[in-house]
Amino acid sequence: MNRSTRIKEKSPVLDALIWLVMLLVLLACIVPFLYIIAMSFSSSRAILNNRVSLWPVGFNTEAYRQVFAYPNFFRAYRNTLFYTGFGTLIALTMMVIFAYPLSKSRLKGQPIVMKMVVFSMFFGGGLVPNYLLLTSLRLTGTVFAMLLPFAINQFNLIILINFIKTIPDELEEAARIDGLNYFGILVRIILPLLTAAIATVGLYTAVFFWNDWFYSLIYLKSDQYPVMLLLRNIVNGTTMVGEAGGVGENASVAIAIKSAVIITSTLPIILLYPFLQKYFVKGMLVGAVKG
Amino acid sequence: MRKTLSLLLAVALLLGLGAYAVAEQPLAISLYYSDNATLPFQQDWPVIVALEKQYNVKLNFEPIPMADYGTKAGLALSTGENTPDVMLYLTTGGAYSSYALNGAIVPISDYAEWTPHFNARVEEMGLQQDVDLNRLSDGKLYFLPSLFDKPFYDGGLILREDYLKAKGFDAPKTFDDLYNIMKAYKEDNPGSYPLTSIVGLRVVQRMTMPSFGVSVGRNTGTGTGTLSWDYDKKEYFAGAISPQYKDYITFMAKLHAEGLLDPELEQDNASTAKKLATGAAMAVYGYYDQIGGWEQASEIEGLKLNMYPPLVGPGGAHHQPKSKTGGGLLFPIAVSKRPDFEQVVRKLDEIFYSEDATKLWCFGPEGDSYKMDGDKVIYNDAILGSADGIYKYMQNAYGTGCAGLQNVWYLDRELTKYDENYARINAEVAAMPDAIQYTVPVPSFDDITAEDASLMQTTLLDAFNVWDDEFRTGKKSIETDWDAFVKDMTDKGIEKFLEIYNANKKL
């Protein structure tokens, strides 16, 4: 029996083992999520008395009502959608425009620009210099403080560069013979072939903008804050144990509300994954194998 | 000629009206506010609306999440960019003293004549010495602190009163009483750990250590880490290696060994509530306003919790030390460049420290949230009938009693928002001699000494925390390993550290 025949043979035991492992992985991912959903719809009393497992007990939507009733909740959500949508759009545009020339190693100066990209990936300017830079550019307190500084992410840029490198040069040569200029080649030839990479990098970028709270905190004003900052405050704002002589504000945020916050903040971005999955795996493997 | 005169008169009239219109413009002031998620800030809180109207001011609040307030405020002060006119709820402790001494913060004591209301409150409450303790090494005060006439006993030992009654126990007076109660509970409920805490072990420690005569840095206000304050001699001593601490850790180790102390004390409030609600714990060091929530959460019939005054230990009966001053108004240097700087300071002084304003911050607008019946405050029916309790309801609905906004606190006024039981407990604690001692001010170090002290504090505290944990959990023996512990702390420089603190102490 040669090797290829052995591989083709089905082993029911192996199949069962694979199924079992995959089922365990699935459960490990889904059970905590179901538990959080169940808690978000349960009464506080049921939660605190350990009566909630994977199904709501004392079903109610009070936690969601309270989360949605937080002052400025919807404005913060709108801000997040804005930063995620426009931030991703700007980032993808800038990175594609930057990645295309950088994929051409024959271009004069390409190696040094590439080295600068890699260098800045490992060595940042630091919090205070960045803050001063953005302030001197009059960006702090404007939405552009979120949209522009994060337009190019070096890691994502390298993914795009490697992807473009895999596109045969002959395609571009043919396009040039047919009369397309470089910009036309990028838009009409390269871009349609970049779908997988754009989906991957787009998802990375969207997740970054969706999850960010720190840069929003330091660069933006409170009416520009994204929902993540608001939700972080709700989750963190459980107890303040003061040292001064006054009455502390010690009331806690109920666990049901925390659960509702987790669901509210993660669900939209989780819903994006199934639509991008088919591109995502391909995009992740770009540049992983040489040749 | 008549035409000219008419024209002149018209111009004069217009100028006069213009000046009048300018004078009527509300003074705009920008403020950083530390926003607590349990009472999210609302610009249209009745208190703020009333203040703006009453004092002709436009308060542009920038509510910043409490957990990140220090980051935002620190960055603005360290860069000097985008600072508001005033930052609320800050002191000049830690890095802020450096910002102040390097010119990033207005030395507000230089403008004392512009803060007459603050000065009047300090004098009336007899807090001049307490306020002066906030002065930095150059002798200046860089923020207007919040003021407390008496320290509140708002948190402490909370116990299952129904259990005490059922078993015939008296209210505990000493730590031995507490031990006996918990021992009995453990026997009745073998799966329980009777004593738990909110947040973490440090809350238990800072509320109980003073009765043993030490604090060992558990009160962050002392800033020492491993030193304690001798209230008689008015000097620091090496609390971590003192006989007092040995007594304390021996007691805690006994509780741990006998399963009376919750081994999982680093927890959120929901976990604490779960333990109390299900009977997995029966005692907690927490806060009075949490009792209602814990009781409501429980399905144990008749479960009743109550708060008790500090227990008597070898060092007397003391709760965690508290300061009569707290975080207050800090003015970034940029505000001093405003042409109307004096007006801004005077206005802030008025809206945070004047007699009328302090009533507003405490009770809300008269005729709306409350009315007076002689000397008695009568809250409206919605407040009195609220399930959240008067205090919490008023915070959320009116914006009263919010730390950071209310800067003058009178115990008597605050007690009107609590039940009679709370007032009784506070009266009992107030009658105990020095039940709540003062917080020792952090010495005024120069930059180099501060750096040295900080390095030593970190080294000592890290080592101490490991030893403390091992002593309590029985991994190390207090009897046989104590000398090695003392040697380790000595080798790490606790004596030198003590010397630095005593050489620079403020009292």
Q: Characterize A220-249 residue by residue with b for buried, 16 or more Cβ atoms within 10 angstroms of its Cβ, and e for exposed.
A: bebebbbbbbbbbbbbebbbbbbbbbbbbb
Whether B288 is in a domain gets the answer: yes
Asked if residue B307 and residue B177 are part of one domain, the reply reads yes
Which of these, B263, B288, B291, lies nearest to B277 by C-alpha position?
B291
Asked if residue B162 and residue B105 are part of one domain, the reply reads no
pLDDT at B301: 93
Last residue of a domain, one of B409, B439, B463: B409
Question: In sequence order, which residues have a C-beta less than 8 Å from that of residue B443 and are 6 or more positions away?
Answer: B501, B504, B505, B506
Asked if residue B142 and residue B41 are part of one domain, the reply reads yes
B25 near A CB under 8 A: no
B84 near A CB under 8 A: no
Asked if residue B249 and residue B129 are part of one domain, the reply reads no
Asked if residue A215 and residue A90 are part of one domain, the reply reads yes
CB contact under 8 A, B81 and A233: no
pLDDT at B311: 97
Q: Which residues of B touch A131 (CB under 8 A)?
A: 75, 79, 81
Q: What is the DSSP string of B264-319?
A: --S--HHHHHHHHHHTS-SEEEEEGGGHHHHHHH--STT--EEEEPPPEETTEE-E
Which of these, A49, A73, A92, lies nearest to A197 by C-alpha position?
A92
Structure tokens belonging to residue B319: 């709760």
Percentage, residues of chain B above pLDDT 70? 94
pLDDT digits (tens, 9 = 90+) for B175-221: 999 999 999 999 999 999 999 988 788 889 989 999 999 987 655 54
Residue of B155, B220, B392 lying closest to A251 (CB–CB) = B392
Q: What's the gap in Å between the CA of A58 and the closest CA on chain B?
A: 13
Weakly modelled stretches of chain B, pLDDT under 50: 17, 19-21, 221
Task: Compare all CA atoms of chain A with the CA of B287 and give the residue at the minimum distance.
Answer: A250
Task: State whether residue A93 is helix, strand or coil.
Answer: helix
Whether B427 is in a domain gets the answer: no
Last residue of a domain, one of B321, B336, B369: B321
The amino acid occupying position B123 is E
Weakly modelled stretches of chain A, pLDDT under 50: 1, 238-252, 288-291
Question: In sequence order, which residues have a C-beta less than 8 Å from that of residue B126 and are 6 or more positions away?
Answer: none
Asked if residue A95 and residue A17 are part of one domain, the reply reads no
Last residue of a domain, one of B305, B321, B337: B321
What CATH number is attached to the domain comprising B207?
3.40.190.10
What CATH number is attached to the domain comprising A265?
1.10.3720.10
Asked if residue A82 and residue A42 are part of one domain, the reply reads no
Whether B140 is in a domain gets the answer: yes
* Residue A44 near residue A21, CB atoms below 8 Å: no
CB contact under 8 A, B273 and A233: no
Structure tokens belonging to residue B139: 């002798």
Asked if residue B137 and residue B169 are part of one domain, the reply reads no
CB contact under 8 A, A241 and B199: yes
Task: Compare all CA atoms of chain A with the CA of B417 and give the residue at the minimum distance.
Answer: A247
- Burial, B7: exposed, middle or buried (Cβ in 10 Å; 0-12, 13-18, 19+)? exposed
CB contact under 8 A, A49 and B75: no
Which of these, B84, B57, B63, lies nearest to B331 by C-alpha position?
B84
Would you tell me which residues 105-144 of chain B have a C-beta closer than 8 angstroms to some C-beta of chain A? none
Q: What's the gap in Å between the CA of B407 and the closest CA on chain A?
A: 10
Q: How far is it, in rounded angstroms, from Cα B122 to Cα B147?
A: 7
Asked if residue A240 and residue A184 are part of one domain, the reply reads yes
Whether B228 is in a domain gets the answer: yes
* Residue A198 near residue A92, CB atoms below 8 Å: yes
CB contact under 8 A, A244 and B148: yes
Question: In sequence order, which residues have a C-beta less than 8 Å from that of residue B437 and are 6 or more positions away?
Answer: B210, B231, B318, B321, B322
- Burial, B6: exposed, middle or buried (Cβ in 10 Å; 0-12, 13-18, 19+)? exposed
Would you tell me which residues 424-453 of chain B have a C-beta closer than 8 angstroms to some C-beta of chain A? 436, 439
The residue segments making up the domain with residue B352 are: 26-151+324-409
Whether A144 is in a domain gets the answer: yes
Asked if residue B452 and residue B372 are part of one domain, the reply reads no
Asked if residue B305 and residue B172 are part of one domain, the reply reads yes
Asked if residue B179 and residue B116 are part of one domain, the reply reads no
Whether A150 is in a domain gets the answer: yes
State how many domains chain B has. 3
pLDDT digits (tens, 9 = 90+) for B57-90: 999 999 999 888 999 999 999 999 999 999 999 9
Which 3-state string (H, E, C) describes B10-38?
HHHHHHHHHHHHHHHCCEEEEEEEEECCC
Q: How far is it, in rounded angstroms, from Cα B82 to Cα A135?
A: 8
Asked if residue B250 and residue B122 are part of one domain, the reply reads no
Asked if residue A229 and residue A186 are part of one domain, the reply reads yes
Residue of A141, A244, A248 lying closest to B146 (CB–CB) = A244
Asked if residue A112 and residue A198 are part of one domain, the reply reads yes
Whether B434 is in a domain gets the answer: no
Asked if residue B468 and residue B386 are part of one domain, the reply reads no
Q: How far is it, in rounded angstroms, from Cα A22 to Cα A42?
A: 30
Asked if residue A258 and residue A137 are part of one domain, the reply reads yes
* Residue B297 near residue B305, CB atoms below 8 Å: no
pLDDT at A213: 93
pLDDT digits (tens, 9 = 90+) for B295-335: 888 889 999 999 999 999 999 999 998 889 999 999 999 99
Asked if residue A78 and residue A30 are part of one domain, the reply reads no
Q: Characterize B391-421 residue by residue with b for buried, 16 or more Cβ atoms within 10 angstroms of its Cβ, and e for exposed.
A: bbbbbbbbbbbbbbbbbbbbbebbbbbbeee
Which of these, B203, B197, B210, B202, lies nearest to B248 by C-alpha position?
B210
Which of these, B43, B305, B17, lies nearest to B163 by C-alpha position?
B305
Whether B278 is in a domain gets the answer: yes
B80 near A CB under 8 A: no
Q: What's the gap in Å between the CA of B14 and the closest CA on chain A?
A: 38
Q: What are the angstrom distances between the C-alpha of B83 and each of B5, B76, B96, B304?
A: 49, 5, 14, 49
Q: What's the gap in Å between the CA of B453 and the closest CA on chain A?
A: 22
CB contact under 8 A, B436 and A254: no
Whether A4 is in a domain gets the answer: no
Asked if residue A135 and residue A17 are part of one domain, the reply reads no
Q: Which residues of B touch A254 (CB under 8 A)?
A: 270
Asked if residue B339 and residue B211 are part of one domain, the reply reads no
Structure tokens belonging to residue A32: 């905590």
Asked if residue A75 and residue A56 are part of one domain, the reply reads no
Asked if residue A277 and residue A136 are part of one domain, the reply reads yes
CB contact under 8 A, B75 and A47: no
* Residue B296 near residue A45, CB atoms below 8 Å: yes
Q: How many CB atoms are located within 10 Å of the residue B298 CB?
A: 22
Q: What's the gap in Å between the CA of A224 and the closest CA on chain B?
A: 11
The residue segments making up the domain with residue A41 are: 11-60
Q: How far is it, in rounded angstroms, from Cα A82 to Cα A68?
A: 19
Asked if residue A125 and residue A254 are part of one domain, the reply reads yes
* Residue B38 near residue A249, CB atoms below 8 Å: yes
Angle separating helix axes A255-284 and A12-40, nearest 10 degrees: 140
State how many domains chain A has. 2
pLDDT at A241: 38
Q: Token match 């035409």: residue?
A: B3
Alpha-carbon A47 to chain mean position:
31
